Structure 1
Amino acid sequence: MKIAQRVSLKDYNTFGIEAIARQFVQIRQEQDLEELFAQQVFEKEQLLFLGGGSNMLFVHDYEGLVVHMNMRGITHEIKEDGVVVLAKAGELWNDVVNYCVAHGFGGIENLSLIPGTAGAAPVQNIGAYGVELKDVFQSCKAFDIANGIFTTFDKNDCAFGYRESIFKGKYKGRYLITEINLLLSRQSEVNTRYGAIQEELERRRITSPTIRDVAEVVSAIRVEKLPDPSTIGNAGSFFKNPIVSVDTFNRLVSNFVDIVYFPFGQNQFKLAAGWLIEKCGWKGKTVGNTGTWKNQALVLVNHGNSTGLEIYELSEKIIESVQERFGITLEREVNVIA
């Protein structure tokens, strides 16, 4: 293991933003973390934990140590109540989904094509098309940089919420997730309640879908709506879908009868941030070297030469527009590294 100096992060973030890390280290095994702890590196350096870089926007160079999780491996163990799939932190999330679909393990097929790594998935409590990671999460193993020991967190420990977890809140910057365990089903029980999935299944004349069918349909929907980071820089959904009270919802519906929303728990509603942004005139708009995606206003893109600051400033303008028109303050889903 070697700590490198002055490393470009352009290939380590899906926005394709050029930023320089003063120091950079690859973690390929648990012993690497123990070695860094023994050298007191975690005490001396400003730290940034990096997985697939799919949920980050670098506004400036990073004047600290970037710790890149690159541990690999996917295994499974058959249990009476299902199957436990173990994925090391550096595995691409979609490779985990493909592994499970290929083996007939159900539960995460709706999360196909979400960018990022397995280790980052619990931090965000990733979700899409009616499923969240917490629905199948069993536990994760994480390294505590404060005392140099490994700890196991079960589902209840993680305090999962909408795009939230204890690793994003209380323990942000303290624990490095090294592996995750998912409890999946050996039965082909699929979730097709999300409208777009059902519509695409009907279009394909599939009446009894398998988990592979759902995975393929979700992938097709995402490809149609979202740009491929390998061809145009982006971080997927840039903003969270706002959660509002009944009173706020009623106010909005009375003024905007076509507003897109979803019931969320008791006495709350989730609004489609993409719809709010589109109604403010931002969909497909280009501003300098950045802009929003032509098929989904929720996605901010790098048209080739954008800086992180340009993208951040665009997001500020979008937040201001939505606040002015709807009285709703959008929250960034992407982590801004300033």
Structure 2
Amino acid sequence: MQIETGVSLKPYNTFALPALAHTLVRIAGDADVRAVLDHPRLGPAPKFVLGGGSNIVLTRDLTAVVLKVEVRGLRLVQERSDAWIVEAGAGESWHDLVAWTLDQGLPGLENMALIPGTVGAAPVQNIGAYGLELKDRFESLDAVDLVTGRSVRLDATMCRFGYRDSIFKQALAGKSVITRVRLRLPRPWQPVLGYLDLERRMAETGITSPDARQIFEWVCEIRRAKLPDPAVIGNAGSFFKNPVVTAEQCRDIIGRDPAIVHYPMPDGSFKLAAGWLIDACGWKGKTVGRAGVYEKQALVLVNRGGARGAEVVTLARAIQESVYGRFGIRLEPEPVVV
């Protein structure tokens, strides 16, 4: 267990927002979590779990003990007739995991390439992109209970996955540390191609039966064209969830704005493109203080340089009010404001 004090969190959040951790502990495994809980000073203190920092907006210094999850390891743990089961340490980069599986000849995660953040954060958010969500490939995870110190294993049902949601954002919020995640990659592999941007790539290239590597490369190209690199421009990726509305609400909005981007859902509801709603309200490229809306994708808020968390929150709230005023829809942020 490695304990540090007065640690700047600016390098540890992709928005590059300034904040200090009064105490930071680097977690390399379950034993480190239990060591923190048994520590006479750290044990009783509040805890804050930090992965890749790609889904947080820091508005203040953290007095809680920051548990920086750095559990490593990538391996194929089981080869079944119906699936490959792979396991990754929670501190591994999600994109590195996707690339590694393809290098090992294990397709199935390619649609979720280049999603920022760590493996441990993926189940918390139930990350997803281009027609695939983590829950579609999830097998189980290991976590340490921050109250009892016991290691537990949770399957998909226990994780209660929803759209960008899970039990770790609800009943277990702040109560456990995910240390390892196992994913199920179905055999035989079937491509997931129903997303508009991928259909366009097939039409442009004439490749009607792309393999997993081709889909991976397309997704990387699409994301890089739309989304800023956090290493260059501070951001947390998509800032707002795509709102889900009833069929009646969707028809009403289409009646007023026929060009609105919308997708039918299996239950009869419709998912609306939050980026389109924000762009329609004129926010693309606009700036509030030192926080702004990315010029190429209105769904992404960025740090123009030296922004503070409060400026990001102010911009986000202004966008929410604007979209609500025009469309009657309340956008819900994806990142956690701390």
Q: Provide the TM-score with structure 1 as the length reference.
A: 0.97
Q: Is the 8 A contact 1:104 1:188 kept in 2?
A: no
Q: Is the 8 A contact 2:82 2:188 kept in 1?
A: no
Runs of 4+ in structure 1 over 6 Å off: none
Q: Is the 8 A contact 2:140 2:153 kept in 1?
A: yes
Please tell me whether residue 241 in structure 1 is matched to residue 242 in structure 2: yes
Q: Is the 8 A contact 1:104 1:211 kept in 2?
A: no
**What's 1:36 paired with?**
36
Q: Secondary structure at the match of 1:3?
A: strand
Change beyond 3 A, Cα 1:42–1:5: closer
**What's 1:121 paired with?**
122
Please tell me whether residue 56 in structure 1 is matched to residue 56 in structure 2: yes
**What's 1:227 paired with?**
228
Q: In 2, distance between residues paired with 1:43 and 1:3?
A: 13
Matches within 5 A, 1:1-338: 1-39=1-39, 43-76=43-76, 77-337=78-338
Gaps of 5+ in 2: none
Counterpart of 1:334 in structure 2: which amino acid?
A: P
Residue 19 of structure 1 deviates from its aligned partner by 0.5
Counterpart of 2:101 in structure 1: which amino acid?
A: C
Q: Is the 8 A contact 1:3 1:24 kept in 2?
A: yes
Counterpart of 2:267 in structure 1: which amino acid?
A: Q
Q: In 2, distance between residues paired with 1:133 and 1:245?
A: 24
Q: Deviations over 1:14-73 (max 9, x none)?
A: 001110111111001221112112225665212110000000000111121111000100
Q: In 2, distance between residues paired with 1:158 and 1:316?
A: 30
Counterpart of 2:184 in structure 1: which amino acid?
A: L
Corresponding pairs, count = 337
Counterpart of 2:213 in structure 1: which amino acid?
A: R
Counterpart of 1:9 in structure 2: which amino acid?
A: L
Q: In 2, distance between residues paired with 1:122 and 1:188?
A: 22
Q: Is the 8 A contact 1:16 1:302 kept in 2?
A: yes
Deviates more, 1:100-109 or 1:5-14: 100-109
Aligned-residue CA RMSD (Å): 1.2
Residue 265 of structure 1 deviates from its aligned partner by 2.7
Q: Is the 8 A contact 1:9 1:19 kept in 2?
A: yes
Gaps of 5+ in 1: none
Q: In 1, distance between residues paired with 2:158 and 2:317?
A: 34
Counterpart of 2:135 in structure 1: which amino acid?
A: K
Q: Is the 8 A contact 2:36 2:43 kept in 1?
A: no
Residue 80 of structure 1 deviates from its aligned partner by 2.1
Q: Provide the TM-score with structure 2 as the length reference.
A: 0.97
Q: Is the 8 A contact 1:134 1:155 kept in 2?
A: yes
Residue 104 of structure 1 deviates from its aligned partner by 2.1
Counterpart of 1:61 in structure 2: which amino acid?
A: D
Q: Is the 8 A contact 1:13 1:54 kept in 2?
A: yes
Q: In 2, distance between residues paired with 1:268 and 1:116?
A: 29
Residue 251 of structure 1 deviates from its aligned partner by 1.6
Q: Secondary structure at the match of 2:202?
A: helix
Residue 112 of structure 1 deviates from its aligned partner by 0.2
Counterpart of 1:264 in structure 2: which amino acid?
A: M
Q: Is the 8 A contact 2:278 2:299 kept in 1?
A: yes
Q: In 1, distance between residues paired with 2:290 and 2:27?
A: 34
Q: In 2, distance between residues paired with 1:87 and 1:41?
A: 31
Residue 111 of structure 1 deviates from its aligned partner by 0.1
Residue 207 of structure 1 deviates from its aligned partner by 2.4
Q: Deviations over 1:140-178 (max 9, x none)?
A: 001001111000001111111100101111111111110
Q: Secondary structure at the match of 1:167?
A: helix
Q: In 2, distance between residues paired with 1:193 and 1:264?
A: 12
Counterpart of 1:50 in structure 2: which amino acid?
A: L
Q: Secondary structure at the match of 2:141?
A: strand
Aligned-residue identity in percent: 45
Q: Deviations over 1:162-197 (max 9, x none)?
A: 001011111111111100110103544211111101
Q: In 1, distance between residues paired with 2:188 and 2:214?
A: 14
Q: Secondary structure at the match of 1:234?
A: strand
Deviates more, 1:185-194 or 1:51-60: 185-194
Q: In 2, distance between residues paired with 1:271 and 1:314?
A: 21
Q: In 1, distance between residues paired with 2:2 and 2:100?
A: 31
Q: Is the 8 A contact 2:25 2:65 kept in 1?
A: yes
